[in-house]
Amino acid sequence: MERKPLTITMKRDLILRVDSLIDGTRIRNRSHALEYIVSKYFKPKIHKALILAGGEGVKMRPFTYELPKTMLPVKGRPILEHILDLLRSHDIRELFVALPSGSQGDKVKDHFGDGSKFGVKINYIIESRKMGTGGSLKNAISQIGTDPFILIYSDVLAELDLGDLIEFHLEASPVLTVALTSVEDPTDYGVVRLHGDNIVEYKEKPRKSLSMSHLVSAGVYIVDHKILDFIPDKSVSSLEEDIVPKLIKNKKIKGYLFEGQWFDVGTPEIYQRAIKEWNN
């Protein structure tokens, strides 16, 4: 990429702040630091998110006989409220919530309304039939548009710097970026192998082995609309089983590691842990 010299005058305190970014590796010198700041300012922002809340929560019964899983309380508030907190704190305020038709979806709508009480705008996507995560994603993109967006499952509690995740995605420009965390027993999750920051293998709930990776998908993604090219043309499809393998084969998927708290509230045991340990 062609670069041209530029001479500027700045206040001394601003120069010191620019110089504080120089680490010798990611940002090499003052010129590089200024280019980084300017490019970051002009980068496209991500302000939209899709929350998939269509699961039946079978493993969470008897809790989910009365409430959809995303409405189960943690620290006195529904799981979905904590997700809204995370999104809003990173200025992601235009939300699309995929819900099943019927009383379970109505309970979510009745509590959250249009989102204004929570500082966001909520658009509901009502699914009258099972489509799987891939089908839900395909259905939602027609409403979300062509901008990249956050995708998060509605039963996930994550202490995650979404701003850093977004910056990573926009810098690398894959079709899909997967937030990754490490767990002691990965056999109940989608297990990932990395080469650098490229995801080179994904296995859903594999058998335990000495050589297995302990990195798993955290249920938080950034999606480019080009993912439509990788969604199969069938009535029901899965993001993890149908789409991710294609992205791996075409080298269009990246992994982003984070170290904060994380709960995938998929079983009563994990739910009880979240109630006791979740700090946010």
Convert the pLDDT of each residue in 111-126 to its tens digit: 999 999 999 999 999 8
Are 26 and 54 members of one domain?
no
CATH number at residue 119: 3.90.550.10
219 lies in a domain? yes
Convert the pLDDT of each residue in 127-172 to its tens digit: 878 888 999 999 999 899 888 999 999 999 999 999 999 989 988 8
Report CA-CA distances (Å) from 127 to 21, 60, 144, 200: 47, 21, 16, 32
Are 160 and 264 members of one domain?
yes
**Residue written as token pair 């480019």:** 224
Enclosing domain of residue 154: 48-277
Q: Is the pLDDT of residue 56 over 80?
A: no
- Enumerate residues 6+ apart whose C-beta is below 8 A from 201: 192, 193, 213, 248
CB 95 within 8 A of CB 59: no
1 lies in a domain? no
7 lies in a domain? no
Are 85 and 142 members of one domain?
yes
Are 32 and 96 members of one domain?
no
201 lies in a domain? yes
Structure tokens of 132?
């799987």
